[in-house]
Amino acid sequence: MTDCLTQDLQAWLDMATEAALSAGAVLQHYWGNLTEISEKGRPGDLVTEADQAAEAAVMAVLQRHLPPEHGFLAEESGAQGNLAGPFLWAIDPLDGTTNYTHQYPFCSVSIGLLVAGEPVLGVVYDPIHRDLFRAAQGLGATLNRRPIHVSGTQHLADSLLVTGFAYDRRETPDNNYAEFCQFTHLTQGVRRGGSAAIDLAYVACGRLDGYWERGLSPWDIAAGIVLVREAGGRVTAYNNSSLAIKAGRLLATNGKIHDAMVDVLQQVPPLSFTPVTLSGGR
């Protein structure tokens, strides 16, 4: 990395932090005060006025500071700006909307920067617990301005993992139900948080040892990938090949249990299931 880009990354990291904190203030304002909750076409894929207002807050900061060669990929408003250039910001103004609508305190603002398709900068802010995670390539990772590192857990049997389930889990056999069961048997436990950005941030700071999930979008994971890598962890595809961020699935660990998780993911067959229709509701 050139010295010039390193200087830019530091400036952009501070700018992304301003944007995340601004969006976080919006989410704090709407917490417990929502009036508009709707689905975006798939059951369980929710959007609220808080999502939209928080995204507007992020975009206001980024567009005020960034030059025109930067592009944006935001969950609510889609692609904007220069999409042909090397700089693309992936923005999730409220990762964990379902949690948020139920006042379950596990949600975040996620802002990541990709350069030529590679995640190089990330900010994840939990506005409920006021945890601010920051990282940029070559600059390390921090939680509330203090350096963080992945855990030292050496063996899968001693690990605590986390995963999530895609919105299309009701319709597709390409789900991680069987993997969830298998890892539950092989570890000290598997959690399901509901915010991919925080899941990755927790791997980065050592609260969790590994995370896998499918059905993800770039705005869910771009920031968290940088956090894990800069904290000393590994992020790959399920089969240990290089990660393709648009593939929608990833494995992130402290590095020490990575190969063991790859082995499990390669061996567990999908779990077939029969959807059950509940009378009187969905």
| Pure H helices in the chain | 3-30, 49-65, 97-101, 177-186, 196-204, 218-230, 258-267
Q: Is the predicted pLDDT of residue 95 greater than 90, yes or no?
A: yes
Is 212 within 8 Å of 176 (Cβ atoms)?
yes
pTM listed for this prediction: 0.92
pLDDT of residue 282: 44
**Domain 156-267 is in which class?**
alpha beta
Mean residue pLDDT across the chain = 91
- The number of beta carbons lying within 10 Å of the beta carbon of residue 148 is 21
Return the domain boundaries, the chain: 3-147, 156-267
Length of the chain: 282
Residue 203: CB atoms within 10 Å: 27
Q: Which residue has the higher pLDDT, 151 or 172?
A: 151
pLDDT score of 118 more than 80: yes
- Taking a C-beta distance cutoff of 8 angstroms, is the pair 249, 213 a contact? yes
Domain 3-147 is found in CATH 3.10.580.10: no
- Predicted confidence band of residue 146 (pLDDT cuts 50, 70, 90): very high
pLDDT tier at 171, thresholds 50, 70, 90: low
Whether the predicted pLDDT of 254 surpasses 90: yes
pLDDT (mean) for 100-115: 97
Rounded Cα gap, residues 6 and 3, in angstroms: 5
pLDDT tens digits, 11-33: 999 999 999 999 999 999 999 99
In the predicted model, is pLDDT for residue 256 greater than 80? Answer: yes
Over the stretch 216-232, which tens digit does the pLDDT of each residue have? 999 999 999 999 999 99
Q: What is the mean pLDDT of residues 106-128?
A: 97
